[in-house]
A and B are shown apart, each in its own frame.
Chain A
Amino acid sequence: MNAILSIILKRLMVGVLTLFIVTIIIFGAVELLPGDIATEVLGQAATEESLNAFREKYDLNRPLHERYLSWLGGAVTGDFGISLANQRPIGELIGQRAANTFFLAGYAAAIAVPIAVVSGMLAALYNGSVFDRMLSSSTLAAISFPEFFIAYILILIFSVALGWFPSLANVDVGDGVGERLYRTFLPAMTLTLIVLAYMMRMTRAAILNLLALPYIEMAHLKGMKRWRVIAVHALPNALAPIINVIALNLAYLIVGVVLVEVVFVYPGLGQILVDAVSNRDVTVVQAACLIFAATYIILNLLADILSIIANPRLMHPR
């Protein structure tokens, strides 16, 4: 037990270290500018006084490491400083939007995960059947279609032709859960279709590997019923790789959300990130990138730790 614990602890340390380095990259990237934010925002024609006033306002006069530490400290408590574009506190700008983004990603995951796991298992059990081959070709479509292609096909069918769902997912703070689920159905569906094929493939592969093991064959040979072999012998061992698959795909989902939000004009973090990039609103970009990157790293870390717990072979690294 101690061996697992120390490996998990080690992995956790690496995760925290990675997160730390990533915050340095996100904060430090701005320093790559030839001048600094002040000269970049105010332009070549800015006077010395206005530059100094700007630096004073955004606290640019202190040395880099001090600014980094206060930025990091603020970020942990949800205070990301103020936006360059409209001088409003960033925490206020992105708070609700971050919640919206996580809502959308969670919604998509809630649809995609059960479907993917069940159909991935079925594909593995009926390996080589028509259903299995259909799944293989749908993976090809999933890796080939850009997100917006899927999104516009869905809009054309379900919004324009059939009129079942709105094509714009403009949710408000006051909307109830039912209203929200209805309005964000198409974006959630798009995200689902993007990750579904991957998850099914990975689940299928995990189960197929498992079913090839001698102890499953033994169980069959003992004369056990097929469902019992799967439910009692295979499933407990399959759970771990499947959880790993889910965590990895959630990490993918959290980034895929950016494009989908733009297509559906959904008031989320991705939308504000894209707007901030085109306005070159550096402080907002830093805050949004930090949230996305941190979520991504944490989910990947989770996937790793779960697979360590699940896989006894990883307990003895060579």
Chain B
Amino acid sequence: MQNFMNNLRDAPVSAWIGIAIVVIYAVLAIGAPLFAPFTERASVGVQYHPWSAPHYLGTDALGRDVLSRLIYGARNTVGIALLTTALAFLLGATFGLLAATLGGWFDAIAARVVDVLMAIPPLIFALLILTITGTSVLSLVLVIAVLDSTRVFRLSRAVAQGILTMDYIEVARMRGEGLLWLIRKEVLPNAAAPMIAEFGLRFCFVFLFISALSFLGLGIQPPTADWGGMVRESAKLIGFANFSSWQAATFGLAPLLPAGAIALLTIGVNLIVDWVLHMSSGLKE
């Protein structure tokens, strides 16, 4: 912990920017009801209210407050993406570590299955499965978690295989350490840094993936506020934008606000990931 605090003190500016972005998003997402002036679903004003009090970012086609929906969107979109990433990690890391440690036929079969799953582009695979299961949040989370776990599997298997060739593992095995003990106490601590960085990268991927599906109308379904869906709903407005006045120009920004919210969070996470990777690779400036 002391070590971690020291690292944090030496963190470069880019990492601090990343941390600040992620913390702000987290606070907004957790405290959404406190910060949002209105609720996410209720129609609270006229349609397409311009950017002025009490609707500081205007209202959408159903008279819902855009600012409130953006804040609730942080909770819904990021929450679901986090859940999916965690599930993908649980699946991928468990199988990856087991495959590396057990080896033999288990490793061979798992690796082949993952090869085939990765041969199909994830978006196409997800669309195929969502046609069959129908679009619901549960199937969305499960489908993306399974597809994404293949990447986690590859990484955790490769990392674990590297660790398993070391002498101390040989000693641990001869000492008679059990499989779970071996994975938890000997392999996992050394695999932690690349896995944390991978978690950040996977989160970005899942987050963009869910947003893309919601944008296509196949992800999180309305009336739940979510950023991909908001881009879709407000996309038509961009055609009405003109730069004759400040108010008219804001129409053009309607789809860019939620899309920008997605982009900003992804940048923040990527900045942190870069820093973690840099630390774990042992490189110093």
Contacts and interface: CB of A to CB of B under 8 A. Distances in A.
Interface in B22-70: none
Interface residues of A, number: 48
A146 B132 contact: no
Nearest to A265: B235
Contacts of A263: 235
Nearest to B255: A152
Nearest to A286: B128
A259 B231 CA distance: 12
A285 B123 contact: no
Contact of B252 (A144, A160, A254, A281): A160
Contacts of A100: none
Given A160-B252, A293-B124, A282 B131 contact: yes
A21 interface: yes
Contact of B270 (A140, A149, A153, A274): A140
Contacts of A278: 135, 217-218
A254 B124 CA distance: 11
Given A18-B119, A148-B215, A29 B132 contact: yes
Q: What is the size category of the interface that chain B forms with chain A? A: 35 or more
A277 B218 contact: yes
B128 A26 contact: yes
B212 A293 contact: no
Contacts of B241: 156, 160
A315 interface: no
Q: Which 5 A-B pairs have the closest CB atoms?
A: A149-B259, A144-B266, A255-B121, A144-B267, A145-B263
A25 interface: yes
A167 B131 contact: no
Contacts of A141: 263, 267
A41 to B, nearest CB: 12
B204 A144 contact: yes
Contacts of B256: 149, 152-153, 156
B121 A167 contact: no
Contact of B212 (A25, A259, A297): A259
A155 B231 CA distance: 14
Contacts of B124: 255, 258, 273, 289, 292-293, 296
A143 B270 contact: yes
Nearest to B120: A293
Interface in A118-151: 140-141, 143-149
B121 A293 contact: yes
